[in-house]
Structure 1
Amino acid sequence: MVNIMRTTKLLAAAGTLGLALSAAPALAVNGHYVGGIEGTKGPTVPPEGFYYRGYLLHYDIDSVQDGDGDKVPGDNGGSVSAFANRFIYVTDKKFLGADYGMEAIVIGQRNDFDFKGMGVDETETGIGDVFLGPLILSWHGKQWDSVFAAGHWFDTGDYDAADPASIGKGHGTTMLTLGGAWYFDEQRDWSFSALSRYEIKTEQEDTDITKGDSWIVEWALGKVLDNGVEVALAGYDGWQLESDSGTPAPGPKVEQHAIGAEVTFPVKAIGAQLSGAVYTEYANKNRPEGNLFRLHLTKAF
């Protein structure tokens, strides 16, 4: 009986692996966007100008979780490292009372999966799918900021349905963004922000599967200290809202939750801003679970 239960759980885990690592969304929920990369004041868009933001991410996988949030048997570890380049242009144009902007993202990534309990040992390195966002609308008040944006992740990265470490996802994703930041005082020293991303996927040509829509929310409670350094309690939560379609039976839905801390400080020598954060995941379902380390540097030109 014990062997039968263990075999059943391993078979279920194999299905989990196929969903959680297909197209290597070990960082994302089940699509493209990675929770936790923006952090404090993520919904606050800067004023008119051209900006570059570079993201350095490292995700250490401790385990793979099943649909009940329990650890799948075996030694299942690995890592994902990525360097994302984001280019933002905020114009002098207005639309619906908002500042109008646009953006593009190009990512270099390395996926290293060593899931001994599932017989997977794969490593891939390459350029991932490219994001183009032709619409950023940002509003600003005395003690608040808000943003709405829309764009698409294009299926440009290499994808192989038989390789769980593929850099590309094998499908496109339309991403809608909505968020806001509230400042508790006129000096804007205390803030709470929430930034949400809604992802709608296209069909994977290699598998004829369309992954279910997902919703990711990043949040942060921050305080600017007297020396200009900002510290924050931060986190992210993600849910797959719909089951995958195009499969004989609906695949399991994915969840991802994390809490962490962030520090942001100005780099006056180069006129930039540096932010670092560390997150610990908990209560994940049907996907890997681990720790996310993130740095991002923002430079205005």
Structure 2
Amino acid sequence: MKRERLFFRRILTLFLSFILSGSLHAQLKGDHLLGDAGLQSGTQTPPGFTLVVPVYFYNAAKLKNGKGELVTDNLGLNMFVTGIGGAWVTNLKILGGNYGGTALFPFASNRLESTVTTVKSPFAFTDIYLQPVQLGWHLKRADFVAGYALYLPSGKYEQGGDDNSGLGQLVNEFSGGSTVYFDKRKSIHFSALLSYALNGKKKGTDVKTGDNLSIEGGLGKTWYLKKANSPIPTIINAGIIYYMQFKTTEDHIPLASGFLLNPDKDQIYGIGAEGNVFIPHIRSLIGVRWLGETGAKNRLQGNTYMLTIAYMLKTFEKKKGE
């Protein structure tokens, strides 16, 4: 009986590895966490160095097939990701845009429950995100960004392992986007950021995740609340946000028998809300996001929640006259 349960657990884990959504523990999914960009996703922050602590939670119960039909709503996936990172923007100009970058050192855990078994991965160090190049341009009615990033396979990964904390693949990601403003004060805005991830082979295998196209952004409104005793206003930003992701190439999965499995491509859409506030006297931004998913194919469908705390450690903005 024990051997049968162990066999079933392994089969279930293998099956779920083909269809789990966005999990850092799941096989054949990219490292890009949907929902990490929202309002003004096509805008580079002002020059400075900022410490960032993201808190990301994803839960899902519905599993959809390649036709978007419900297979089951009896699965329970809970994924938690947090960490510490830094983002910098300098006054150095390259091709007319400010040079910047980002680094994030994350930790993650997953719990998958069904009516027959529970699969858990421990809270552990996972794959590092490094964006060594980001360029940002600011025009009167629009901002633009372009960047190159890497997801480094720094988390524990072993083929067939049940305690992996990373995906075991090097990912090269290219991105570009814009925020368009509809008034002179830049208070009403719409943004879109496109990211294309080229996924490499998993460590020690010929397994390769298909490439992913992600689009994220939102439509929002900004309020500037200036106090008499403060030269910098409190800034409130709120609006509707969205994301979508498409697998553009097929997964490559050689099986032990020599048979090559190429699962159907998956896709997902999400829409929700974002609100954040910049508090000048503590030089900090606090933001929250929620997105409900729809239109899933070959993956789970659920909800994404994100809390972001950012502290501007140092500003590099030049004062007037400098």
What TM-score range do you get, normalising by the shorter chain? 0.7 to 0.9
* SS in structure 2 at match of 1:17: helix
Equivalent in the alignment of 2:309: 297
Equivalent in the alignment of 1:180: 178
* Alpha-carbon spacing, 1:146–1:97, altered in 2? closer, same or farther (3 Å): same
Identify which of 189, 208, 215 aligns with 2:206.
Answer: 208
In the alignment, the residues of structure 2 paired with residue 235 and residue 91 of structure 1 have an alpha-carbon distance, to the nearest angstrom, of 29
Deviation at 1:274, TM superposition (A): 1.2
Deviation at 1:84, TM superposition (A): 3.4
* Alpha-carbon spacing, 1:66–1:25, altered in 2? closer, same or farther (3 Å): farther
Deviation at 1:27, TM superposition (A): 9.3
What is the CA deviation profile of residues 225-279 of structure 1, one whole-angstrom value per residue up to 9, with x for unaligned ones? 4654222111100000000125312122121111101111122341111111111
State which drifts further: 263-272 or 92-101. 263-272
In the alignment, the residues of structure 1 paired with residue 27 and residue 206 of structure 2 have an alpha-carbon distance, to the nearest angstrom, of 21
1:271 aligned partner, one-letter code: R
Deviation at 1:16, TM superposition (A): 5.6
Equivalent in the alignment of 1:56: 55
In the alignment, the residues of structure 2 paired with residue 266 and residue 22 of structure 1 have an alpha-carbon distance, to the nearest angstrom, of 32
Equivalent in the alignment of 1:4: none
Matched, 1:232 2:239: yes
State which drifts further: 71-80 or 187-196. 71-80
| Residue pairs, 1:91-240, within 5 angstroms | 91-116=90-115, 119=117, 121-163=119-161, 166-225=164-223, 227=225, 228-240=235-247
In the alignment, the residues of structure 1 paired with residue 34 and residue 163 of structure 2 have an alpha-carbon distance, to the nearest angstrom, of 19
Deviation at 1:70, TM superposition (A): 2.2
Contact residue 23 and residue 159 of structure 1 kept, 8 A: no
Deviation at 1:166, TM superposition (A): 2.7
Contact residue 99 and residue 137 of structure 1 kept, 8 A: yes
In the alignment, the residues of structure 2 paired with residue 225 and residue 28 of structure 1 have an alpha-carbon distance, to the nearest angstrom, of 43
* SS in structure 1 at match of 2:71: coil
Contact residue 101 and residue 134 of structure 1 kept, 8 A: yes
Which runs of 5 or more structure 2 residues have no equivalent in the other structure? 1-11, 226-234, 255-259, 314-322
What is the CA deviation profile of residues 135-184 of structure 1, one whole-angstrom value per residue up to 9, with x for unaligned ones? 11111111111111002111110123324663200111001111100010
Contact residue 114 and residue 121 of structure 1 kept, 8 A: yes
In the alignment, the residues of structure 2 paired with residue 244 and residue 178 of structure 1 have an alpha-carbon distance, to the nearest angstrom, of 25
Which runs of 5 or more structure 1 residues have no equivalent in the other structure? 1-12
In the alignment, the residues of structure 2 paired with residue 234 and residue 177 of structure 1 have an alpha-carbon distance, to the nearest angstrom, of 18
Matched, 1:242 2:249: yes
Contact residue 87 and residue 101 of structure 2 kept, 8 A: yes
* SS in structure 2 at match of 1:19: helix
Identify which of 276, 283, 287 aligns with 2:288.
Answer: 276
Choose 1 or 2 for highest CA Rg: 2
Deviation at 1:32, TM superposition (A): 0.8
In the alignment, the residues of structure 2 paired with residue 29 and residue 296 of structure 1 have an alpha-carbon distance, to the nearest angstrom, of 27
* SS in structure 2 at match of 1:229: strand
Contact residue 85 and residue 102 of structure 2 kept, 8 A: yes
2:19 aligned partner, one-letter code: A
In the alignment, the residues of structure 1 paired with residue 293 and residue 271 of structure 2 have an alpha-carbon distance, to the nearest angstrom, of 7
TM-score under structure 1 length normalisation: 0.88
In the alignment, the residues of structure 2 paired with residue 291 and residue 73 of structure 1 have an alpha-carbon distance, to the nearest angstrom, of 16
The size of the alignment, in residue pairs, is: 289
In the alignment, the residues of structure 1 paired with residue 157 and residue 298 of structure 2 have an alpha-carbon distance, to the nearest angstrom, of 21
